[in-house]
Structure 1
């Protein structure tokens, strides 16, 4: 199967824009935790605070230009 995502699991990415509702700022570091191929290619990124506690999981298009889903992580 051909790879359709730019990123792979455990790659570091930067938030392309702020998501204040979940405490993620533009440029915040996140880690790809899942790649999806179906129903369309996507990546899921985990953002955590300085202590490593998850703040949010965000599902993006493979090029980070669209947000498909935002899951806030309860403290």
Structure 2
């Protein structure tokens, strides 16, 4: 059984990514930069126009695809 790590929308992007290899690449692929590390997941998601849960899922997912495409799929 695989356990998923969940972060609340008020967790910072830095908190979510600090121990994840390749996290900065995923951050850039999702349309964010190092300047956004201090943003809360919920704030960054609103800025991108996607649900916070979806942004967290994309950022925390193992590198299996382009995060930018996955975030774009979540946009209305």
TM-score by length of 2: 0.35
Question: Which one has the largest radius of gyration?
Answer: 1
By relative contact order (CA 8 Å, sep 6+), the higher-ranking structure is 2
Q: Of Structure 1 and Structure 2, which has the larger fraction of its residues in helix? A: 2
TM-score by length of 1: 0.35
